[in-house]
Amino acid sequence: MKEDLPSSVKPWKRWLTLVLICIGLIAGLAGLKYQQIQESIAFAASFPERSATVTAVTAKLGSWTQVYRTIGEVRATRFVELRNEVEGRITAIGFIGGDSVAAGQTLLQLDSREETAQLDATRAELKLAELKLQRIIELREDKMASPEDYDKAASSKAVLEANLAALTARIEKLHLVAPFDAKTNLHALEIGQYVSANSLITGLTGNDEELWIDFDLPQDKSNIEIGTNVTLSGLGIKDNSLIARVISSEPQIDVNSRTRGYRALLALSETTLSPGAVVDVAVETGIMNNVIRLPATAVRRSDFGAFVYLLEKAEAKATAPFRAIRRQVSVSRAEGEQVIITQGLAPGDLVAALGAFKLQEGLLVHVVERLSKEAQMAAKTQ
């Protein structure tokens, strides 16, 4: 008769059997998953590697004319604020605000009746003084008048002549005329109105064929020579470009702004520029050599600075001719649709241009158009 196993051994065998079954199940599932992964890898490998299409430009060394841009103010070559020197009541206004006036034209007449009456009286007294002086001269010839009599008569005449000149000058100050051909400002003057001394009557802007353009340059840019041409652009300028010539500059740097003031002369052309307007002023400040120009679309930026994507030849079995290689560059500044590169590229480097935003390190690249700098410039002018 077979002897039974102890009861303590039977549970152990059951647990061992369960563990072996679990291990077998896990191994089977792992094998199945491995097979699926291998099939997925093989399926993915059957597709071509991802690529992008861009245009490209070949880097070439060249020079760049540095341009500093600032704001300029348009000013008239002749402008005055006409003010009265003496107070008085307006008796006549000889211009309409905003109209042109000719040199010598009466602009304003103040009440001068009192001064005119005093002038007439002084003239009469002067005439009498001249007659008296003439009699004394005749009496002296006959030794009948003393030198003191002559001195008093001559002094009286001189005093009256001075009074006459003072009254004449005052009357002239009550009569304001245009000092040159000009256009007047608007005004709100009325006949009968009393104006105190030094009141603004109107502004006079000369009818000249030229304008001044005043602008400032920072200390490190303020070395341009007299006679240098500057380019103007902005509202009111036909074809968005005019040339003015620098004619003068401030003798010293402003201690507050650390800038130097310049004045350029602009010959009037077909433009609607008016004194008081502002324009953009472009000043050539120097030439930078051994730089590379790239289209602005070629340069990307990140927290670490500017970079471009070089296009290097891909391996023989690749499905595209180039691979993108990220390269850090130093950018001097943007000039219109181009960017000036000073470091990071060498002549002959092929750089992704339009479409560079689609690239990343190592990505395959197709080039649909390979443009040199000269070809780009020629295409822009067509």
Res 43: pLDDT: 61
What is the residue extent of each domain of the chain? Answer: 51-64+289-381, 69-77+206-287, 86-200
pLDDT at 375 (0 to 100): 46
Q: Does 34 score more than 90 pLDDT?
A: no
Residues 120 and 117: their CA atoms lie apart, in Å, by 5
Q: Which fold has domain 51-64+289-381?
A: 2.40.420
- Residue 16 pLDDT greater than 80, yes or no: no
Query: What pLDDT is stored for residue 2 in this prediction?
Result: 46
42-54 residue pLDDT tens: 665 555 678 889 9
Confidence at residue 150, expressed as pLDDT on a 0 to 100 scale: 83
Q: Tell me what pLDDT residue 6 has.
A: 53
Q: What does the pLDDT average to over 194-219?
A: 92
- 4-8, 104-108, 179-183: segment of lowest average pLDDT: 4-8
**CATH code of the region 69-77+206-287:** 2.40.30.170
CA neighbor of 368 nearest in space, from 57, 50, 48:
57
Q: What is the mean pLDDT of residues 271-279?
A: 84
HEC secondary structure over the chain = CCCCCCCCCHHHHHHHHHHHHHHHHHHHHHHHHHHHHHHHHHHHHCCCCCEEEEEEEECCEEEEEEEEEEEEEEEECCEEEEECCCCEEEEEECCCCCCEECCCCEEEEECCHHHHHHHHHHHHHHHHHHHHHHHHHHHHHCCCCCHHHHHHHHHHHHHHHHHHHHHHHHHHHCEEECCCCEEECCCCCCCCCEECCCCEEEEEEECCCEEEEEEEEEHHHCCCCCCCEEEEECCCEHHHCEEEEEEEECCCCCCCCCEEEEEEEEECCCECCCCCCEEEEEEEEEEEEEEEEEEHHHCEEECCEEEEEEEEECCCCCCCCEEEEEEECEEEEEECCEEEEEECCCCCCEEECCCHHHCCCCCEEEEEEEEEHHHHHHHHHC
pLDDT of residue 221 exceeding 70, the answer is: yes
Indicate whether this model's pTM tops 0.75.
no
